[in-house]
Chain A
Amino acid sequence: MSKVEVINNLFFTVVENQSAAVSVMPDHSPGGDALVEAAQKGDREAFTQLYNSYAPMVHGVLLARVPRGEVDDLVQDVFLQAFKKLHALRNVNTFGAWLATITRNRAMDFHRRSRAEEELTEEDARRSPAEVEANEILDVIRRLPEAYRETLVLRLVEELTGAEIAARTGLTPSSVRVNLHRGMKLLREQLGGKYE
């Protein structure tokens, strides 16, 4: 094997071993900047439009981290918190990344003040078989590394495309692509060909 080949192999091994791609880029969702600016001035209608656009992303990020029964309330909490702090956002281009950070922090905060998990087992008993299956897959996804789990939930549960995920979360498209690819590979391994 030549020296060049050895170096190339080493380089690709290092790249493959990286846990996740997390480069961040400005959010360029269409019309988003104007809406954010209007919402910063107190325009509730503009903020409601932002909510409609970003709620699936917030829902997905929370779903990847907190119990399903808590997600809907936490989505409202996140947007309320964002509305209160919106004036502090200096670069309106980064609204998506900023909102995703608030969401992740809210999820961490939830776990710090975590309530008893027994409630969840009661909920499980009332669920339909489809919901039980969905929760089983979600549990598998939640055991994956954080960046993969978030991207996979946004893609498979919320059905956002890779470009939409990048635009909503502020990640670069290439990061999302890498996370989707590696996350899917890991998920296939974890599921053991059950859904092939």
Chain B
Amino acid sequence: MSDYLWNKSGEPDAEVKRLEEALAPLRYKHQPLRLPANVNHKRRSHWLPLAIAATVVLAILGGVGSGLLYRNSRQQEVEIQSAATPNDTATDDQKREVVERAAHERSVSQETSRPQSNLSQETLNPNRDSSRSYRSNIVRYAPTHKRRESSGVVLSAQRGRKARTAQQTVAADNSQLTPQQQDEVRDGELAKEQLMLALHITSRKLDLAQRRMQEATSQPSVPR
């Protein structure tokens, strides 16, 4: 490229020179800048980043809160189940004895080549029907201090309501679902309930943040 096209130095390129001359009538002619006396600067809203940050924090808190609530409800479910099972009254020593006996029986069953699954089910919970699935026979024990707490069926009104809801949901499907599926349905219902609560809280907080932002932006901007 010729220097003339780049920086108008050196020997002029005839064609470029002619084009410059031909285009001269279109060249910028200086005109004074016309700025109105009162120009309102569009100020950046300080509420917007604040509102976004608040929403994120609230969403995280909502998530953590719902997680805790879910854990509590699971704990409560275990308590209810253990309260309804005769084995609940077993002491730690008795439980250990059952587990040891189960291990012993399993080793015997291997020797006599009996089906392992049936034996273990019967050993773990002989009161139950062996035709039911393995999972349904597992008795989940709550921590000792929790069991003591709930041994006299001293549940709060809220806990009782949640438990009844969960039990009703499961009872409605009892006739059609396997015990494993019932467990899953119950878990799902509880998780859904907690998620809806968390979403509700987050939604309310977001509404509040948006309302505050709108109030802030509706105020007249101040000229600099």
Interface string of B178-196 (1 = CB under 8 A from A): 0000000000000000000
CB-based contact A60/B28 at 8 Å:
yes
Size class of the B contact interface (CB-based, 8 Å): 20 to 34
Task: Say how far A196's CB is from chain B's closest CB, in angstroms.
Answer: 5
Interface of A is mostly: helix
User: Using a Cβ–Cβ cut-off of 8 Å, how many residues does chain A contribute to the interface with B?
Assistant: 48
Task: Say how far A89's CB is from chain B's closest CB, in angstroms.
Answer: 11
Instruction: Please name all residues of chain B whose beta carbon is closer than 8 Å to the beta carbon of A163 when the two chains form the complex.
Output: 7
CB-based contact B22/A158 at 8 Å:
no
Instruction: Please name all residues of chain A whose beta carbon is closer than 8 Å to the beta carbon of B43 when the two chains form the complex.
Output: 87
Interface of B is mostly: loop
CB-based contact B23/A138 at 8 Å:
yes
Nearest to B13 among chain A residues (CB) is A184
CB-based contact B28/A177 at 8 Å:
no
CB-based contact A157/B27 at 8 Å:
yes
Does residue A159 face the partner (Cβ distance < 8 Å to B)? yes
CB-based contact B22/A137 at 8 Å:
yes
Interface string of B16-46 (1 = CB under 8 A from A): 1011101111111011011110011111100
Nearest to B23 among chain A residues (CB) is A157
- 8 Å CB contact of B40 from A51, A84, A159, A162: A84
Sample of 18 more A-B contacts, CB < 8 Å, known A137-B23, A195-B18: A72-B31, A75-B31, A76-B31, A79-B35, A80-B34, A80-B39, A84-B41, A85-B41, A134-B22, A137-B22, A156-B19, A156-B23, A157-B23, A158-B28, A159-B8, A184-B1, A195-B19, A196-B14
